Amino acid sequence: MIEKESKPAMKRKKIQFAFHDEDADSVCIPGDFNGWNEKKHVMKRDSRNIWRKTVMLPPGTYEYRFKVDDRWENDPQNENVRINCFGTINNVLEIS
């Protein structure tokens, strides 16, 4: 019997996203880490109108944006960006 070498498990890291918007009814985080699914990572608003969501992600490079009601917004706390295939800008998150 031949035994396969197992790869070490990639340890996922806790990433907290935050977005401030007093007027929003809903905010979510579509990105390539969730197939750009607008229902997967829905954020919750706190008493200071800061929308938050903690996501566990393995090391890698990810693109994302916030979906605020029906409009796309970039993360003002992340200056790391890349032009996407639509000619707009995605935020880039690098996890080591």
Burial of 16 (0-12, 13-18, 19+ CB in 10 A): exposed
Structure token digits, residue 23: 């007027």
Strand partners of residue 71: 68
Please write the tens of the pLDDT for every residue from 6-39. Answer: 555 679 999 999 999 999 999 999 999 999 999 9
pTM of the prediction?
0.85
Q: Does domain 13-95 have CATH number 2.60.40.10?
A: yes
Amino acid at 36: W
Look-up of token digits 């393995």: 58
Separation between Cα atoms, residue 40 and residue 81, nearest integer Å: 22
pLDDT digit string (tens) for 32-90? 999 999 999 999 999 999 999 999 999 999 999 999 999 999 999 999 999 999 999 99
